[in-house]
Chain A
Amino acid sequence: MSADAYAVKATAGWRRYLRWNTDHKVIGVQYLVTTFVFFFIGGLLAMLVRSELARPGTDILAGQQFNRVVTNHGSLMIFLWIIPVFAGFANFMLPLMIGARDMAFPRLNAASYWTFLAGGVVMVASFFVGAAETGWTAYVPLSIRAPDGQTVWAVSVIIIGASSTMGGINFITTTLTMRAEGMSFWRLPLFVWSMLATSLLVVIATPVLTASLILVALDRLVGTAFFDVAAGGSPILFQNLFWFYSHPAVYIMILPGMGIISEIFPVFSRKPIFGYKMIALSSMAIAVLGMTVWGHHMFSSGMDPRYRVPYMVTSMIIAVPTGVKIFSWLATIWDGKLRFTTAMLFALGFISMFLIGGITGIFLASIPFDIHVHDTYFVVAHLHFVLFGGSVSAAYAGLYYWFPKITGRMLDENFGKGHFILNFIGANLTYLPMFLAGALGMPRRVADYAPEFARLNQLATLGAAILGVSSVPMLYNIVVSWVKGPVAEANPWQARTLEWQTSSPPQDQNFDVPPVITHDPYDYGVAGPAADRPQSASAAAD
């Protein structure tokens, strides 16, 4: 069918995005738009933090205000932006990529979105009753004694966790039971593999966070003694429960990004992905190993020192499957016919920045080094290279790659490249000086600092300002292109995976004819009859 037939429907039906709707594509857009809104709120909070830290002394935010802004910056970015934005992409793309007409549980899917929105609104509403101020980690006993906003915050995270678990169950079930004929496991696109690994982590780890926050809420509201040291309570228990979820959460935040990158490199290199099976299996390996490393957050918490070395070893082993992926991506672009689209630029930016974040992660896994830089800006720099340089770059790459499929309109490449350049310069300028400040001993989560750190902090604040500015061309591009950008073809990037073998945006039920999968997803540029052919025979026959 022609793209015109859908252009009418896509513009006519915007109200469906404001209502209960069980179509995975509608839910995907709901997730994506909502998460971008939370991203901008979280970004504004980051701007406040960097403004305060622009020079020594407390000028804008005093101690408690600063703590609240830092806490909610972290919480919004993790729980309301990075984790759910990938759920948004997966909601839209995963059923298309496996040749299904929808998710396995469409109503559960809608419930998961509206639960997420409710949790997000509760978290933002906590600003007005005295926001949480313990950092996103909500360590006890601080989080037991903080004002009421802390309870609202804990409740919001429990609600968002429920939404996340519903989504995880749905993604796994969809991947296992809804694949089209011929879509064997070794033909699954790597984004689907990464979502499978992510969802397993979500289902296994999230309930433990829920349990830990229920105990915090009980201590606060009922007066139980779980974390009350005077009554025999155990703060270390909280740290164990919290990190049992929150370290795997790092992989929940990075694995889908790695999946998106794995989609983009072969398309814009016109080469088969290098090491398909190794990339798929390394996602699974990261998911499994990722469950065994949480103690490395607690080297300086008074845990039994005998546990330290095992946690150090498992943490360092994670670098192996991660390295497998990075080398596979490099081998994929090696000698390829590269097209430097905005999506490809963000994917390349992902590799370079994520590599810095990943390698400093190995530094931090090392016990003596970790004890030296624990709770300094070195950790802040590391986690922002992973989560901003890595996850956010991947989300941007996914945005530029899939926007034509989602909206039926092309984004402007010049604005996109401008966004990329500002983003890349801004990110490195913001976070690289933090490594130095941290190594020199600047503590994190404090509104003030010693004068000798002034120069490094000025650089970081300048970088943050550039990051803030970089969102302007992106926002403008999204809004203008969505309204009146050039109409997208079904397959503007000449990709082989199934989401591109249907109209943009895809019709109801996704495909005219249920696809039959006859090929691997990434056989680009190979000689012979399979050359540049889509994954599905029936779609090719259209």
Chain B
Amino acid sequence: MEHAMATHEDHFRAGKLLGLDHRKLGMWLFIASEVMFFGGLIAAFLTFKLGTPSTDSALLNVAQVGVNTFVLLTSSFTVVLALSAIRAGDQRGLRAFLGLTILLGAAFLSGQAFEFASLYREGLTLTSGVFGSSFFTLTGFHGLHVFIGVVWALRNLIKAMRGGYRAETSIGIELFGLYWHFVDIVWIVLFTIIYLI
């Protein structure tokens, strides 16, 4: 009886009767709201792409961005490896794969900056017309999300350097992973609708 009371008390404190971790659920809900945010921007982009087709899209360099896409997708893989490393208690693996994720994320951002710079030189800008406006807004907000992800990963890396994660307390890595995968999936959608079709 004593034991039963204690467990019950624990439930009250931790609030985990469903066996559903509230941090993960919160993250999924945040991602749902982010999906809708990008949905709004994508709707704007498609309105112009379908309604007033522009020759400006010929300026896009699909091959170069394709390489960048590969870089970003690889970073999703390294996040999975980081999580599986810490779940196995492998601190070195965690730090290595987090570091690799940061490098890949930074490489993607550099690639995007390079792409933006060359488009600007060719006259495609935020204010050059509806294609430029919707292209830079949509890809720019995605880039901002990658940037936030890189900062988040850096913070996690610093915490990992101090031994802040253990196999049973790896939720922080998992939450970051959810966000990072989401950012990657958004890019797959954007790459398809902006560059491929």
B18 adjacent to A211 (CB under 8 Å): no
A168 to B30, CA, bound (A): 10
Chain B residues positioned under 8 Å from A211 (CB to CB): 37, 39-41, 44
Chain A residues positioned under 8 Å from B127 (CB to CB): 222-225
B33 adjacent to A169 (CB under 8 Å): yes
A253 to B12, CA, bound (A): 31
Whether B164 sits at the interface, judged by CB under 8 Å, is no
A224 adjacent to B137 (CB under 8 Å): yes
Whether A165 sits at the interface, judged by CB under 8 Å, is yes
Residues A181 and B11 in contact in the complex (CB < 8 Å), given A224-B137, A234-B47: yes
Which residue of chain A is the closest to B21 with respect to CB atoms?
A177
A177 adjacent to B134 (CB under 8 Å): no
Whether B115 sits at the interface, judged by CB under 8 Å, is no
A218 adjacent to B29 (CB under 8 Å): no
Whether B58 sits at the interface, judged by CB under 8 Å, is no
User: Mask for B32-72, Cβ within 8 A of A = 1, else 0?
Assistant: 11101101110110011001100000000000000000000
A177 adjacent to B40 (CB under 8 Å): no
Q: Which of A98-106, A258-266, A276-284, A439-447 contacts B (4 or more CB under 8 A)?
A: A98-106
Residues A234 and B26 in contact in the complex (CB < 8 Å), given A180-B12, A215-B137: no
A104 to B25, CA, bound (A): 10
Q: Give the B interface residue count (CB, 8 A).
A: 38
Number of A-B residue pairs, CB cutoff 8 Å, is 124
A434 to B167, CA, bound (A): 66
Chain A residues positioned under 8 Å from B134 (CB to CB): 226
A176 adjacent to B137 (CB under 8 Å): no
The residue that B32 contacts in the complex, of A178, A203, A241, A514, with Cβ under 8 A, is A203
Whether B159 sits at the interface, judged by CB under 8 Å, is no
- Closest CB of chain B to A541's CB: distance in Å? 14
Whether B16 sits at the interface, judged by CB under 8 Å, is yes
User: Mask for A93-116, Cβ within 8 A of B = 1, else 0?
Assistant: 000000011001100100000000
Whether A473 sits at the interface, judged by CB under 8 Å, is no
B33 adjacent to A241 (CB under 8 Å): no
A231 adjacent to B130 (CB under 8 Å): yes
Whether B117 sits at the interface, judged by CB under 8 Å, is no
Which residue of chain A is the closest to B136 with respect to CB atoms?
A224
- Closest CB of chain B to A103's CB: distance in Å? 10
Whether A82 sits at the interface, judged by CB under 8 Å, is no
The residue that A204 contacts in the complex, of B9, B26, B32, B41, with Cβ under 8 A, is B32
Which residue of chain B is the closest to A202 with respect to CB atoms?
B33
Chain A residues positioned under 8 Å from B20 (CB to CB): 176-177
Chain A residues positioned under 8 Å from B22 (CB to CB): 104-105, 173-174, 176-178
Chain A residues positioned under 8 Å from B34 (CB to CB): 207
B137 adjacent to A169 (CB under 8 Å): no
By secondary structure, the A interface counts as helix
B36 adjacent to A100 (CB under 8 Å): no
- Closest CB of chain A to B51's CB: distance in Å? 7
The residue that B15 contacts in the complex, of A177, A205, A215, with Cβ under 8 A, is A177
B129 adjacent to A225 (CB under 8 Å): yes
A223 to B21, CA, bound (A): 44
A237 to B52, CA, bound (A): 13
Chain B residues positioned under 8 Å from A105 (CB to CB): 22, 26
Residues A232 and B29 in contact in the complex (CB < 8 Å), given A177-B17, A240-B43: no
B44 adjacent to A203 (CB under 8 Å): no
A162 to B97, CA, bound (A): 32
The residue that B29 contacts in the complex, of A169, A178, A244, A514, with Cβ under 8 A, is A169
The residue that B130 contacts in the complex, of A205, A206, A233, with Cβ under 8 A, is A233
Chain A residues positioned under 8 Å from B133 (CB to CB): 218, 224-226
Which residue of chain B is the closest to A241 with respect to CB atoms?
B40
Residues A177 and B29 in contact in the complex (CB < 8 Å), given A101-B13, A208-B36: no
B33 adjacent to A204 (CB under 8 Å): yes
Chain A residues positioned under 8 Å from B33 (CB to CB): 165, 168-169, 203-204, 206-207
Whether A461 sits at the interface, judged by CB under 8 Å, is no
Residues A100 and B32 in contact in the complex (CB < 8 Å), given A212-B40, A234-B48, A241-B44: no
- Closest CB of chain B to A304's CB: distance in Å? 12
- Closest CB of chain B to A223's CB: distance in Å? 4
A249 to B134, CA, bound (A): 26
A409 to B128, CA, bound (A): 63
Which residue of chain A is the closest to B34 with respect to CB atoms?
A207
Whether B166 sits at the interface, judged by CB under 8 Å, is no
Chain B residues positioned under 8 Å from A101 (CB to CB): 12-13, 15
- Closest CB of chain B to A29's CB: distance in Å? 22
Whether A502 sits at the interface, judged by CB under 8 Å, is no
A104 to B14, CA, bound (A): 9
A247 to B195, CA, bound (A): 33
Whether B8 sits at the interface, judged by CB under 8 Å, is yes
Residues A218 and B137 in contact in the complex (CB < 8 Å), given A208-B39, A211-B40: yes
Whether B126 sits at the interface, judged by CB under 8 Å, is yes
Whether A382 sits at the interface, judged by CB under 8 Å, is no
Which residue of chain A is the closest to B52 with respect to CB atoms?
A232
User: Mask for A226-249, Cβ within 8 A of B = 1, else 0?
Assistant: 100001111001001100100000
User: Mask for B63-97, Cβ within 8 A of A = 1, else 0?
Assistant: 00000000000000000000000000000000000
- Closest CB of chain A to B22's CB: distance in Å? 4
Residues A226 and B130 in contact in the complex (CB < 8 Å), given A215-B44, A218-B137, A237-B44: yes
B26 adjacent to A169 (CB under 8 Å): yes
A204 to B34, CA, bound (A): 9
A212 to B42, CA, bound (A): 11
Whether A296 sits at the interface, judged by CB under 8 Å, is no
Whether A172 sits at the interface, judged by CB under 8 Å, is yes
The residue that A514 contacts in the complex, of B8, B18, B30, B36, with Cβ under 8 A, is B8
Whether A179 sits at the interface, judged by CB under 8 Å, is yes
Whether A342 sits at the interface, judged by CB under 8 Å, is no
The residue that B25 contacts in the complex, of A173, A226, A233, A514, with Cβ under 8 A, is A173
A223 to B137, CA, bound (A): 12
Residues A222 and B126 in contact in the complex (CB < 8 Å), given A104-B15, A237-B44: yes
Chain A residues positioned under 8 Å from B9 (CB to CB): 514
Chain A residues positioned under 8 Å from B126 (CB to CB): 218, 222-224
A225 to B30, CA, bound (A): 29
- Closest CB of chain B to A138's CB: distance in Å? 15
B15 adjacent to A100 (CB under 8 Å): yes
- Closest CB of chain A to B178's CB: distance in Å? 14
Chain A residues positioned under 8 Å from B30 (CB to CB): 169
Closest 8 CB pairs of A and B: A211-B40, A514-B12, A207-B37, A224-B133, A178-B15, A207-B36, A104-B22, A177-B22
Residue pairs across A and B with Cβ atoms less than 8 A apart, 5 shown, are A104-B22, A177-B15, A177-B18, A224-B127, A224-B133
